[in-house]
Structure 1
């Protein structure tokens, strides 16, 4: 401990920590202050940092000091460190009293310092989300019995709402809808964790995604070079094909996709593979999104007037085209 200087002002350090950071992972200024302090006080006998402080040789006194107690403890130039209950961001009762004492003008106050012992890393609030979802899954009568099949339709709806927010340029709505999409991911992972035969959790989902992203970006994490967006896309398609061991460029395109998206995806895959795409109609050549949208709207209106379902018609055409692509691939593979 430091030698006491009766003429020096005392120092009171409120040491805060984040529950999203593993206990014991404190900043160097925090460890230095703890080791040099004349007294370390903690109001919570279950404080998550206590075992690590004791292991490091820091003597901690347990108790529930008031703001006045802490001020008095700094008398004579002493340095006192106070750990709020629970390892959280503070102790409102103590800090409010310290503010009143300092504002009264009748009490000789020590130097007050709020010292963050640990900081949230980017993405730390995702840990809160997982904890909240786990509790909801365990305690909510509705959420606790949901299945993947029950939630499937909500995932589609949330994605459409996100697309709408993006198209409208509503930044607040985009943030909210991204949260709703993220909820679906965390909810499905919580359900999967309880599977009796093949359980997996959110960490497994993240691990697979990280491995996939690293593998598909060899120009960043490996030795390959890709200087243009086109080269990056070509690498992505090639590596994805190897990963999935796909026999056809149509593999991985959900047949249940909306008809227009299904048709466009099939045509794009075929074009990349050098397979013929359906010829453009002679009576119309799209020049921009506006003209294309008007054309598609007119075609849909004409189909409806003729008593035809344009969605079903295009889906059936896309599936026929899918068969054509696969037949072409078979011929190309024939020696």
Structure 2
């Protein structure tokens, strides 16, 4: 990266980049790591981890040029943090179970926030990055609130809340409500669905990513089956598409060949 950013011999594109301009690439590489993991492709994972590591090196080099920090400090910082947050491994603290480990982790994070000038008056929800995907952020916010018992006692209450929010969405449609109100109600429904996923032990973001992949695969099967018949997707073949969709959903069968 130092060579690529060299003012005399470097790459013109690399020299033009800033923290902000490479941010989209950093996010993209992180998602490509996730994709490789979900596809259970170790060769792709190795490659994508390298691409993600390059982003860390890129940001670090820009920071070093500005006199902010360098790559070594980034690595040292995360090493120090891991040691500090694992006194049951690197020191003599006795944490007998997973609950105790989690509790100590949160206490250490609170001390770190206080050391950064974020005192006890800060919200418990402070620090949940706004740039996270909405489903991920919703789950993190809910988990933070659950630490102080602001949560449903059992999953039955969560199901009831989802049904309640769905009913409110229906009401906004029937009453020809202002579009902004519909946005709010859909948001509340999605938030409650994330809550349901959390109580069911499901990662909402991963679940939706998997659903997207299933939809792509099944719709691709529909398109392929229509092509065999000399047809194209459209209103004229809607019933046929519905039939093919149902076939595509059948487990363990290749009805579209």
TM-score of the alignment, normalized to the shorter chain, above 0.5: yes
State the SS of the aligned residue for 1:136: coil
| 1:241 to 1:171, Cα distance in 2 relative to 1, 3 A | same
Match of 1:189 in 2: 60
Residue 159 (structure 2) pairs with residue 159 (structure 1): no
For 1:221 and 1:181, locate their aligned partners in 2 and report how far apart those are by CA, in whole Å: 28
Larger fraction in strand: 1
| 1:173 to 1:238, Cα distance in 2 relative to 1, 3 A | same
Shift of 1:309: 5.9
Match of 1:281 among 159, 162, 170: 159
Match of 1:129 in 2: none
State the SS of the aligned residue for 1:160: helix
| 1:177 to 1:222, Cα distance in 2 relative to 1, 3 A | same
Spell out the pairing of 1:121-200 with structure 2 (5 A cutoff): 133-138=1-6, 139-195=10-66, 198-200=67-69
Equivalent residues, number: 168
Shift of 1:314: 5.2
Shift of 1:248: 2.2
For the 8 Å contact 1:263–1:314, the answer to whether it is kept is: no
For 1:315 and 1:283, locate their aligned partners in 2 and report how far apart those are by CA, in whole Å: 9
State the SS of the aligned residue for 1:226: coil
For 1:270 and 1:249, locate their aligned partners in 2 and report how far apart those are by CA, in whole Å: 7
For 2:28 and 2:78, locate their aligned partners in 1 and report how far apart those are by CA, in whole Å: 23
For 2:152 and 2:59, locate their aligned partners in 1 and report how far apart those are by CA, in whole Å: 37
What value does the CA root-mean-square deviation take over the aligned residues?
A: 3.2
Spell out the pairing of 1:236-315 with structure 2 (5 A cutoff): 236-245=105-114, 246=118, 247-276=122-151, 279-282=157-160, 313=187
Q: Could you tell me the TM-score, scaled by structure 1's length?
A: 0.45
Match of 2:91 among 207, 222, 236: 222
For 1:254 and 1:223, locate their aligned partners in 2 and report how far apart those are by CA, in whole Å: 33
Spell out the pairing of 1:112-127 with structure 2 (5 A cutoff): none
For 2:49 and 2:161, locate their aligned partners in 1 and report how far apart those are by CA, in whole Å: 41
| 1:284 to 1:200, Cα distance in 2 relative to 1, 3 A | closer
Shift of 1:236: 1.2
For 1:156 and 1:271, locate their aligned partners in 2 and report how far apart those are by CA, in whole Å: 28
Unaligned runs of 5+ in 1: 1-132, 286-298, 319-335
Larger fraction in helix: 2
Where relative contact order (Cα < 8 A, 6+ residues apart) is larger, the structure is 1
Unaligned runs of 5+ in 2: 174-178, 193-257
Give the greater-gyration-radius structure (CA): 1
Q: 4+ runs of 1 displaced by more than 3 Å?
A: 276-279, 306-312, 314-318
